[in-house]
Chain A
Amino acid sequence: MCVVALLEEPFRVGHFLPQDLKMPLCGPKCSLCGLIVSVWGIIQLSIMGGLFMWNSIGLIEDLGLEEHYDTTEELYKAADDAYSSIAYNCWIAAAIYLVTLVISMQQFHVNKQAGHFQL
């Protein structure tokens, strides 16, 4: 059996367009998985971010508050801070998942053109 060496096209330095990438970074399963998790992440994290922003009581145990506060105002302030910062974290994570979604979609498209999917 012969061994054939696969020479990869070197990336062009300077401008890097997604259409140039003929060789997929990850296979069909990986891109499909990324697609599904990204969609799920975007939906769930945006909703969670909204819930945290509107001070949902059901999520109060996830804030990471202290065991003891001296006054009620301290508790309220800590809770408000926690709510808003976690909400921003959720939305930032959702944004990163949006980027992942775009990459996964592009990879999925490339894999489909390479004929890895038969559906």
Chain B
Amino acid sequence: MAGFSYQRLKERGATMSEWGLFRSEEMSLCQLFLQTEAAYACVSELGELGLVQFRDLNPDVNAFQRKFVNEVRRCDEMERKLRYLEKEIKKDGIPMLDTGENPEAPQPREMIDLEATFEKLENELKEVNNNAETLKKNFLELTELKHILQKTQTFFDEEAQYHYVTHQMSEANRDDENAQLLGEDGMQAAGQSLKLGDGTQHVPDGIQQALLTSDEGDQVYKSVFIIFFQGEQLKTRVKKICEGFRATLYPCPETPPERREMKMGVMTRIEDLNTVLAQTQDHRHRVLVAAAKNIRTWFVKVRKIKAIYHTLNWFNLDVTQKCLIAECWVPSADTEAIQLALRRGSERSGSSVSPVLNSIQTREAPPTYNRTNKFTQGFQELVDAYGVASYREMNPAPYTIITFPFLFAVMFGDFGHGALMALMAAWMVWKEKPLGAKKIDNEIASIFFGGRYIILLMGLFSIYTGFIYNDIFSKSVNVLGSSWRNCFTDEEVHHHDAETLLLPPENRTCFYGTPYPFGFDPIWQISSNRVTFQNAFKMKISVLLGVLQMLFGVLLSVFNYRNFKQFSDLVTMFLPQVLFLLCLFGWLCMLCLLKWTMYSAPFEVGSGPEDAEAIRYGTHCAPSLLLIFINMFLLKDMNADAKGTGPGEKYCDGYLFDGQKGFQSFLLFVGVMCIPWMLLAKPILIWRQRRQQPHSELPETNGDVAAPAGGGGGGGHDEEEFSEVCIHQAIHTVEYVLGSVSHTASYLRLWALSLAHSQLSEVLWTMVLVRGLSMTREFWGGIVLYVIFGAWAGLTVSILIVMEGLSAFLHTLRLHWVEFQSKFYKGEGYIFAPFSFEIILREADSED
């Protein structure tokens, strides 16, 4: 397997060190010499490759003083134009074609072409928009006029009838009439009549249809007024009042034929305007559609150019040799691929001098680079979220791939819920290509999608622990044959007074002697002491798993010490740590295992001396582990108290095996001795080392070298003062010792959450689903069940899978981050952030 992947990676131009994911990659600091003409093409190639992290060689230079600031500014301008185009395209609802192709960064001379294209498009669009605005305003005015003419027509028709009746009386008023129409928008004074003076009348009438004002685009209702007046003075006064109310005035022709002519004129002009407007919109649409085809590629190209010039700004210009110098972090295994890329770039640009890449020595800490694939990436991100590994430190991620879902499953253990979770994750994995290509807007959904492999494994492991806990939606299944039977006859059941019957395991008609082959026996589901029994098991399992994981963490620190050549730490740090853990907490786990294996329910046992062994290791005499452990620390004898008087009691022993007391005292002694060992060994060693070092760094003070006990240790391999070393060691010791106790107890959350999950599941079944099952015996019980099942399903998904799942996820994460990683992980590194177009484009997309 390892050979196969190595081959594949070599073909891809990248090679993996032999440690793979267990340790971060070896990095080297390289200097890159590029000819100025070839620089652009080479950086473009490196961006496509995505394996180089450049360093800013001009950190003090202002952004406006950098070499390529003009090009960056031009790119910004192009991006602005593109965004404007995108906005217009979105406004029209035209879909932007996303072929998913990845165009290469164009040559610098192509940039001018792109700029010209964008400029042209932008100007065209602006012009079209302006024209459309003007046309729309004209259209609005003409529509207003049309409506006004219509209203006046109706008014004058009515007036004509009225005219015939009262023409004698009002004929005098009809001379010299000079009517003006006004359209008034939303006049508040519509109710009151205007006092305009004598000889004026006004007739309000509303235009029923809503008109659009040209500037805001909202609907506005307008009313039409006809004002009749005589004389110039009144005319100016009317005009002023109309202006005050923001009314538009139109002259009204006096005779009907003139009105008709005017109306026809207006109608034709409206027709013409409509055609022109439609054509303008058409043109705009065509321009936008043509732009929409290419806009995605243009965005990609412009962003790539900008990224290249940003990076080029970080380079130093070597004036004498006309070349650019860059410093970059490079994975040592990838230097071949990078050389290839550089050669490609320089060939493309047609330069004669090939670029030079040589590594330089440095004391700086390199970045941490872990090569991951789509499966391991999720787990690596989980680890990195707490702290990025120091350079070349042991990476907790590969173990997390198994321990994380396993610990989650211990807390979640339900076959049904696990199956649902696994199905959901399996769907996401199956559809990962289309889902990955489509940019998910919802942040929570994208988080779930990013962790799809984690969730899949969590679900699969939960199915496994569901089998072990024998829990399917809180019900147990009997697939392998229960080992318990009802051993009571009818009369016994009838004459029994107590509420519950006890099935003794010593009775072979009740218990068959061989336990259920895999998992919990289904009999526990209908027993009343189910929770008590399961609690004991789950608590012990939690402590066992916890101590195992912590021991593994301490063992991993060995690899760290070996790698960083801190061999003394193996003796001063690792050995006391592991002995402390094993002697005290490892012994606790041992006690659990011993009690599980050594004690059983004795079958056909009397109370004579020949059964002493069986009685001692029987159910009656099984000692309490808690008491044993407490008395171990108190150095108290378990058998010191007087024994009970039950049958066979005299054969009981407080200890599991003979000589346990002495053995435990020895373990306690070793464990306690580890504490001063941890505390003192390393400082003593450093002190002796520093004493033996020649004092070469001290200045020329003749002999007046004050060297107090905790004073500065000059000339040592460490820059730390001795007092600092002592304090650090003390902190470390206290942290470890107290941490062991607290972390071991912390692992009991595995039991706690598992209990909570199973109880919640049971509550949901008994309180929700059973109501539907046993509510009625009639046929419509089926319909009730139909409804209630839907409710139960919804509650199961929302409470038990989502809420409990997130909770168990969080607790597992905490167990990994704090309890496991504190044993060996420093996490003080910084992550390798290569110059990669893929990453830059993805970030830019997510900002959109």
Seen from chain A, the residues whose Cβ lies within 8 Å of a Cβ on chain B are 1, 37, 40-41, 44-45, 57-64, 72, 81-82, 85-86, 88-93, 95-97, 118-119
Contact = CB atoms under 8 A, between A and B. Distances in A.
A37 B793 CA distance: 7
B490 interface: yes
Contact of B790 (A37, A61, A85): A37
A82 B785 contact: no
Interface string B469-499: 0000001111000000000001001100000
A62 B774 contact: yes
Contacts of B794: 37
Contact of B774 (A40, A41, A63, A118): A63
Interface in B765-785: 765-766, 769-770, 773-774, 777, 779, 781-785
Nearest to B790: A37
Contacts of B522: 58
29 contacts: A1-B218, A1-B219, A37-B794, A41-B790, A45-B785, A45-B789, A57-B478, A58-B475, A58-B476, A58-B477, A58-B478, A58-B522, A61-B766, A61-B770, A62-B765, A62-B769, A64-B773, A72-B493, A72-B494, A82-B774, A85-B777, A85-B781, A88-B782, A89-B781, A89-B785, A96-B782, A96-B783, A118-B438, A119-B435
Given A63-B774, A88-B782, A97-B789, 5 more contacts: A45-B789, A61-B526, A62-B766, A86-B781, A92-B781
Contact of B793 (A41, A72, A90): A41
Contacts, number: 82
Contacts of B219: 1
Nearest to B482: A57
Nearest to B420: A40
Contacts of B526: 57-58, 60-61
Contact of B773 (A1, A89, A92, A95): A89
A59 B786 CA distance: 19
Contacts of A1: 217-219
- Chain A facing B: main interface SS: helix
Nearest to A96: B786
A86 B217 contact: no
Residue with the greatest number of chain A CB neighbours at <10 A, chosen from B219, B435, B784, B785: B785
A8 B148 CA distance: 36
A53 to B, nearest CB: 13
B431 interface: yes
A93 B777 contact: no
A96 B779 CA distance: 13
Nearest to A56: B478
B785 A81 contact: no
Given A58-B476, A58-B526, A59-B475, A92 B770 contact: no
Nearest to A38: B790
Nearest to A95: B782
B437 to A, nearest CB: 10
Contacts of A90: 773, 782, 785
Contacts of B793: 37, 40-41
Nearest to A92: B782
| Interface bin, chain B | 35 or more
B434 interface: yes
Contacts of B525: 58
Contact of A93 (B217, B475, B478, B789): B789
Interface in B19-56: none
B786 A93 contact: yes
Contacts of B438: 118
A57 B521 CA distance: 13
A4 to B, nearest CB: 14
B773 A62 contact: yes
A86 B777 CA distance: 7
Contacts of B789: 41, 44-45, 93, 97
Interface in B727-769: 765-766, 769
Interface string B357-388: 00000000000000000000000000000000
Nearest to A90: B785
Interface in B307-334: none
A64 B774 contact: yes
A41 B473 CA distance: 13
Contacts of B765: 62
B786 A119 contact: no
Contacts of A85: 777, 781
Nearest to A91: B782
Contacts of A44: 789
Contacts of B790: 37, 41
A81 B774 CA distance: 11
B786 A97 contact: yes
CB-CB nearest 10 A-B residue pairs: A92-B782, A64-B774, A93-B785, A89-B781, A93-B786, A85-B777, A89-B782, A96-B786, A62-B770, A93-B782
A41 B490 CA distance: 39
B434 A93 contact: no
A108 B526 CA distance: 42
A96 B787 CA distance: 10
Nearest to B787: A93
Contacts of B783: 92-93, 96
Nearest to B493: A72
A92 B779 CA distance: 8
A7 B249 CA distance: 40
A119 B434 contact: yes
A63 B475 CA distance: 14
A90 B47 CA distance: 62
A90 B777 CA distance: 11
A44 B475 CA distance: 13
A90 B785 CA distance: 7
Contacts of A60: 526
Contacts of B786: 41, 92-93, 96-97
Contacts of B490: 72
Contacts of A37: 790, 793-794
Contacts of A95: 782
Contacts of A40: 793
A84 to B, nearest CB: 9
B828 to A, nearest CB: 43
B773 A86 contact: yes
Contacts of A118: 438
A60 B794 CA distance: 25
Contacts of A82: 774, 777
Nearest to B770: A62
Contacts of B774: 62-64, 82, 86
A112 B494 CA distance: 64
Nearest to A65: B774
Residue with the greatest number of chain B CB neighbours at <10 A, chosen from A58, A63, A85: A58
Contacts of B770: 61-62, 64
Interface in B411-431: 431
B415 to A, nearest CB: 12
A41 to B, nearest CB: 6
